[in-house]
């Protein structure tokens, strides 16, 4: 019985992660793709593992903070929430996770 609970718990965590990535993709497609597909204003392109690896070295918390609050870097400017103030912090976090996952 204990093994069954552990397997069930592991599956729930995996499903939760999958749902967050799926939700992140939807947010990315609707709000982030315009800049992060073409590299507008220095935005790291999704799929460019080199650009994301350097940023990930700062830690996920910093990346999410920059995406939520905005950031002026050497390469360009990230407006708060990409200019979409209607996005929740969780939606932004999920979109960042999706972009990172797609750029490995």
Which residue range forms the structural domain that includes residue 95? 2-101
Average pLDDT over residues 83-87: 97
pLDDT confidence of residue 20: 58
Residue 60 neighbours by CB distance under 10 Å: 13
Query: What is the distance between the alpha carbons of residues 93 and 89, in angstroms, rounded to a whole number?
Result: 6
Residue 24 Cα distances to 29, 75, 102, angstroms:
8, 24, 11
Number of domains in the chain: 1
pTM of the model: 0.79
For residue 7, pLDDT over 70 is answered with no
What's the CATH code of the domain at 12? 1.10.760.10
State pLDDT tens for residues 49-58. 999 988 889 9
pLDDT confidence of residue 102: 94
DSSP for 78-104, written as a single string: E-GGGG-TTS-HHHHHHHHHHHHHTT-
Residues 6+ apart with CB under 8 A from 18: none
Tokens 């939700």 locate to 23
Mean pLDDT of the chain: 85
State pLDDT tens for residues 24-36. 999 999 999 999 9
């Amino acid at each position: 019985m204990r093994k069954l609970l552990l397997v069930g718990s592991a599956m729930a965590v995996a499903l939760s992660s999958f749902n967050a990535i799926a939700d992140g993709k939807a947010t990315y497609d609707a709000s982030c793709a315009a800049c992060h597909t073409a590299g507008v204003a220095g935005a790291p392109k999704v799929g460019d593992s080199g650009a994301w690896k350097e940023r990930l070295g700062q830690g996920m918390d910093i990346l999410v903070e920059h995406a939520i609050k905005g950031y002026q870097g050497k390469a360009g400017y990230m407006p708060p929430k990409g200019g979409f103030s209607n996005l929740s912090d969780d939606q932004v976090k999920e979109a960042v996770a999706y972009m990172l996952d797609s750029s490995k």
